């Protein structure tokens, strides 16, 4: 017999050789452009140029303003307001739309915690609506069912890099006179039709933190087409309480100032990073598409959905699992894949409503605020069971890869596919 018998390597978790022997290098979007941009700011000696009083420099220095202009130009919106994180940006946005203590704001349980915290900061009450099992984004029907007479706004996240159903959400919001804030931190440059994620809501918020597609270390950007909202966010960003008198601002509600300012170095780097956004987003789309082609057909595994006309920029590559079809618990699969060297394996994702803050209703101080302030008739529930889809995905249904943490070249993607196929070939050994 001359033809070789295909050797089947043992799973790495059982002592066999790992499919991916050498760790992928960490994602690094910086080049000499950012080094030059940062050092040129340092040479000027002015690393931040805001003045926290009503003054020409209230809106920040030249790099901040240039970065805002470039960002709003790229995204086709009228105003960009640079901030020092998306968390700050979300807080500025919720304050800007005029939330009153006790107002309800609908939000996804399947998002980074800051999407919901931004509501609590203003003594608003987060109301969690369930997600769509295909895109993991807020489900429009679930939002509709969560609306009460107290509802004032929706914070919608474009989770994992796929845009939320903004047509459906904006139509519903219009019908009920609700404001919409879109947390596009994970989806810069993702599109549905001609619309970029983050641009169709009243306010869109982007992140520039170290883990995102493009970054400046820390940073964020709010976008809006509404001049009044832009002004209110600019005020909240920079000590509003000390500024409104000089500026002659009439509506001083929520003009509690913070320091949400982005510095000149970050803005200068952001200008360079923005020029690389197309390429960064397309690289992720390419990696996700290639992964899906390679993983198609594995038993009990469904590759991520991309809605017709939309693009997915794969901050996370999220598979859905049917554990009963596979016959192996998710945690075991995740361990086997990690042992094969697959980087950033996620054994589920967060359920924000189950965090201690909501379970114990302890946020401002220790006595139940803001929920107590909302009054006895506020019956918002955070019990397990209110968001069955998000809970199922958290407990059993979703297995992800943090695609944003590495470049994921074609060769690397192929290794990941090989690792999955090896594990799926030997499911019996994991049972
Ligand atoms: C990263 C992230 C944030 C927070 O961004 P920061 O810039 O770190 O504050 C908010 N929402 C989502 C969905 C995120 O992924």
Using an 8 Å Cβ cutoff, are 257 and 239 in contact? Answer: yes
Q: Which atom of ligand 1 is nearest to the CA of 157?
A: 13
pLDDT of residue 1: 41
Using an 8 Å Cβ cutoff, are 236 and 257 in contact? Answer: yes
Q: Which atom of ligand 1 is nearest to the CA of 212?
A: 1
- Mutate-to-test residue for ligand 1 from 81, 110, 183, 197, highest number of ligand atoms within 8 A of CB: 183
Cis ω before 370 (30° cut-off from 0): yes
C-alpha 163 – ligand 1 centre gap (Å): 15
Write out pLDDT tens, residues 62-89: 999 999 999 999 999 999 999 999 999 9
CA distance 82 to 78: 13
C-alpha 47 – ligand 1 centre gap (Å): 24
Q: Which atom of ligand 1 is nearest to the CA of 115?
A: 11
Question: Which residue's CA is the nearest one to ligand 1's atom 8?
Answer: 209
pLDDT of residue 8: 75
C-alpha 220 – ligand 1 centre gap (Å): 9
CA distance 373 to 123: 8
Q: Which atom of ligand 1 is nearest to the CA of 159?
A: 13
- What pTM did the predictor assign? 0.97
- Mutate-to-test residue for ligand 1 from 112, 183, 237, highest number of ligand atoms within 8 A of CB: 112
* Mean pLDDT, contiguous 10-residue spans, the chain (431 residues): 60 97 94 97 97 94 98 98 98 98 97 98 98 98 97 98 98 98 98 97 98 96 98 98 94 97 98 98 98 97 98 98 96 98 97 97 95 80 98 98 96 98 96 89
C-alpha 185 – ligand 1 centre gap (Å): 5
C-alpha 112 – ligand 1 centre gap (Å): 6
Q: Which atom of ligand 1 is nearest to the CA of 87?
A: 9
Q: Which atom of ligand 1 is nearest to the CA of 208?
A: 7
C-alpha 108 – ligand 1 centre gap (Å): 14
C-alpha 328 – ligand 1 centre gap (Å): 33
Please give all residues whose beta carbon lies within 6 A of any atom in ligand 1, as ranges. 85-87, 111-112, 114-115, 157, 183, 185-186, 207, 209, 220
Q: Which atom of ligand 1 is nearest to the CA of 209?
A: 7
pLDDT of residue 376: 67
Q: Which atom of ligand 1 is nearest to the CA of 186?
A: 15
Using an 8 Å Cβ cutoff, are 328 and 427 in contact? Answer: yes
C-alpha 198 – ligand 1 centre gap (Å): 13
Q: Which atom of ligand 1 is nearest to the CA of 114?
A: 10
3-state secondary structure labels for all residues of 215-232: CCCCCEEEEECCHHHHHH
* Phi and psi angles of residue 233, each rounded to the nearest 5 degrees, phi first: -70, -40
Using an 8 Å Cβ cutoff, are 221 and 83 in contact? Answer: yes
Nearest residue to 274 via CA among 33, 42, 40, 50: 33
Question: Which residue's CA is the nearest one to ligand 1's atom 2?
Answer: 185
CA distance 305 to 288: 11
C-alpha 14 – ligand 1 centre gap (Å): 37
CA distance 172 to 175: 5
C-alpha 39 – ligand 1 centre gap (Å): 27
Using the structure block, give the residue that is written with the tokens 């019956």.
379
Using the structure block, give the residue that is written with the tokens 């700011």.
41
For CA atoms 61, 65, 70, 75, give the dihedral sign: positive
CA distance 177 to 167: 15
C-alpha 98 – ligand 1 centre gap (Å): 22
């Amino acid at each position: 017999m001359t033809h070789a018998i295909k050797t089947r390597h043992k799973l790495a978790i059982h002592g066999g050789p790992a499919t991916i022997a050498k760790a992928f290098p960490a994602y690094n979007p910086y080049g000499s452009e950012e080094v030059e941009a940062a050092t040129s700011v340092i040479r000027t000696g002015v690393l931040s140029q805001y003045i926290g009083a009503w003054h020409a420099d209230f809106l920040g220095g030249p790099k901040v303003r240039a970065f805002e202009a470039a960002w709003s130009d790229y995204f086709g919106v009228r105003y960009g307001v640079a901030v020092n994180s998306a968390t700050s940006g979300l807080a500025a946005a919720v304050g800007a739309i005029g939330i009153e203590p006790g107002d309800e704001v609908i939000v996804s349980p399947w998002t980074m915690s800051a999407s919901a915290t931004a509501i609590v900061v203003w003594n608003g009450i987060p109301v969690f609506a369930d997600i769509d099992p295909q895109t993991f984004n807020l489900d429009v029907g679930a939002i509709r069912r969560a609306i009460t007479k107290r509802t004032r706004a929706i914070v919608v996240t474009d989770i994992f890099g796929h845009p939320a159903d903004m047509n459906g959400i904006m139509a519903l919001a219009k019908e009920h006179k609700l404001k919409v804030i879109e947390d596009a931190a994970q989806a810069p440059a993702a599109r549905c039709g001609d619309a970029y994620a983050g641009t169709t809501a009243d306010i869109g918020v982007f992140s520039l933190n170290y883990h995102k597609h493009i970054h400046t270390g820390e940073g964020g950007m709010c976008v809006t087409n509404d001049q009044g909202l832009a002004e209110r966010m600019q005020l909240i960003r920079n000590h509003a309480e000390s500024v409104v008198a000089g500026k002659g601002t009439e509506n001083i509600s929520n003009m509690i100032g913070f320091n949400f300012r982005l510095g000149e170095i970050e803005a200068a780097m952001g200008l360079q990073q923005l020029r690389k956004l197309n390429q960064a987003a397309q690289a992720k789309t390419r990696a996700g598409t290639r992964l899906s082609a390679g993983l198609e057909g594995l038993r009990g595994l469904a590759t991520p959905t991309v809605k017709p006309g939309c693009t997915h920029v794969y901050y996370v590559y999220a598979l859905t699992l049917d554990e009963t079809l596979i016959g192996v618990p998710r945690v075991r699969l995740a361990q086997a894949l990690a042992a094969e060297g697959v980087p950033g394996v996620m054994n589920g994702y967060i359920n924000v409503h189950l965090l201690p803050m909501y379970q114990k209703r302890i946020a401002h101080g220790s006595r139940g605020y803001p929920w107590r302030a909302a009054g006895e008739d506020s019956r918002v529930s955070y019990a397990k069971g209110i968001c069955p889809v998000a809970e199922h995905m958290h407990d059993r249904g979703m297995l992800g890869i943090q695609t944003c943490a590495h470049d994921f070249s074609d060769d690397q993607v192929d290794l990941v596919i090989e690792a999955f196929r090896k594990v799926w070939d030997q499911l019996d050994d994991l049972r």
